[in-house]
Amino acid sequence: MREEKTPAPGGRWDGSAWCYGDDVDTDVIIPARYLVTSDPKLLGPHCLEDLDPHFASRVTPGDVVVGGENFGCGSSREHAPLALKGAGVSCVVAASFARIFFRNALNVGLPILICPEGARHTAPGDRLRIDLAQGTVENLTRGARYTGAPFPPFLQELVASGGIVPYIRRRLAQKKHQEARS
């Protein structure tokens, strides 16, 4: 289930926008009644169903979820980014993210982009082109291009090295090596 790791920093996608405004909480991203599994394939069909019952059945792989401020607030459930991945969402663009969701998205390999302008000027159904390496959102429907906020250097490194799982694996190997030497 975790076969797809944090994506290479250069991901690029075209997709339609699904817009949900400010304060999208993790209870509506994936309601607790489905937290008896953490398999993205089982979570995906229920993604966002309490906010938009049509989302999971109509979303096309590659589509982009667009939030306003504080996307992913509330519960720490990592099942929220997993459900978005399972539904086929390529990237979440928002004006800002709640902190636990932000970390979880990086850790499970759901691409996210902080881009207040892009989030504000996107309407449902707009065609978006996301370029994660450039940090840009291009609105193909409106002919506009927006640049998102870069991650801090440590997080860029973390993403570039494949995410927290390989990072910890490397740290543990170093530790073992040092212990063997001493």
Q: How many CB atoms lie within 10 A of CB 180?
A: 7
- Provide the token pair at 51: 């906010």
Q: Is 104 among the residues that bind other proteins (CB under 8 A)?
A: yes
Task: Report the nearest approach of other proteins to the CB of residue 178 (Å).
Answer: 13
The CA dihedral of 103, 114, 124, 44, to the nearest 10 degrees, is -10
Q: Which of 7, 13, 62, 103 binds other proteins (CB under 8 A)?
A: 103
Burial class (CB in 10 A: 0-12, 13-18, 19+), 11: middle
Q: Which of 4, 8, 10, 37 binds other proteins (CB under 8 A)?
A: 37
Q: Is 99 among the residues that bind other proteins (CB under 8 A)?
A: yes
Give, as ranges, the residues between 126 and 155 that touch other proteins (CB under 8 A).
152, 154-155
User: Which residue from 162, 149, 167 is spatially nearest to 112, judged by alpha carbons?
Assistant: 149
Task: Report the nearest approach of other proteins to the CB of residue 127 (Å).
Answer: 29
Find out whether 122 and 139 touch, Cβ atoms under 8 Å: yes
Q: Which of 13, 16, 21, 51 binds other proteins (CB under 8 A)?
A: 51
Q: Is 35 among the residues that bind other proteins (CB under 8 A)?
A: yes
Please tell me the count of residues contacting other proteins according to CB under 8 A.
46
Cβ within 8 Å of residue 150, ≥6 positions away: 135, 156
Q: Which of 21, 100, 117, 127 binds other proteins (CB under 8 A)?
A: 100
Q: How many CB atoms lie within 10 A of CB 172?
A: 10
What are the strands of the beta sheet with 64-67, ordered from one edge? 112-114, 91-94, 64-67, 12-19, 127-131, 136-139, 144-147
Q: Is 120 among the residues that bind other proteins (CB under 8 A)?
A: no
Q: How many residues does the chain have?
A: 182
**Closer by beta carbon to other proteins, 107 or else 139:** 107
The interface region with other proteins, picked from 43-51, 57-65, 115-123, 131-139 by CB under 8 A, is 43-51
Using CB under 8 A as the criterion, which residues of the chain lie in contact with other proteins when the complex forms? Answer: 1-2, 22-23, 25, 27-28, 31-33, 35-38, 49-51, 69-70, 73-79, 82, 96, 98-100, 103-104, 107-108, 152, 154-155, 164-165, 167-169, 171-173
